[in-house]
Amino acid sequence: MSIEVVTLNDHDNSLLSRREIAVVFSNGAGKIKRNEAAQLIANKHNVDPKNVIPISMKGEKGKTDLHGIFYVYGNPEQAKSLLPRYRILRTLPKDERKKIIDEEKAARLKAKQALAKGKSGSGKGKK
């Protein structure tokens, strides 16, 4: 069985400068990942896959249909300014996502150590 994409609603949100697309993936429950679904939406609507952000994908008990909501932005920078950080990280491949998170953890640890080092020499009095 192949996965068929049916567009339920394609709304242009001019306030937030994005398209909000609601779709149904027939026979897609448990067979399709978020990034693959975003790729299918991009191909169907002729947009860049980097600009398609999956928001929700929900299946129903006892059915093989998968309901999804996707936001399509004009450029990735616009999506970064409007959406929470974790939504953007979810669209990245796992190795890239891990690299970004590890770099940020190292930077936080370095800043914390520098702060602790600066405080340790300043207190000479009684507590």
Q: Is 86 exposed, middle or buried (0-12, 13-18, 19+ CB in 10 A)?
A: exposed
Determine the Cα–Cα distance for residues 127 and 7; give it in Å rounded to an integer: 67
Mean pLDDT of 80-107: 91
Backbone angles phi, psi at 108, to 5 degrees: -65, -40
- Residue 123 pLDDT > 70, yes or no? no
Q: Based on DSSP, count helices (H) and strands (E) in the chain, helices before strands.
A: 4, 4
End-to-end, the C-alpha distance of the chain in Å comes to 73
Average pLDDT over the chain, rounded to an integer: 88
Please report, rounded to a whole number, the percentage of residues in the chain having pLDDT higher than 70.
Answer: 93
pLDDT tens for 24-69 read 999 888 888 898 999 999 999 999 999 999 999 999 888 888 999 9
- Residue 102 pLDDT > 80, yes or no? yes
pLDDT at site 31: 87
Helix (H) or strand (E) holding 39: helix 34-45
- Residue 126 pLDDT > 80, yes or no? no
pTM above 0.75, yes or no: yes
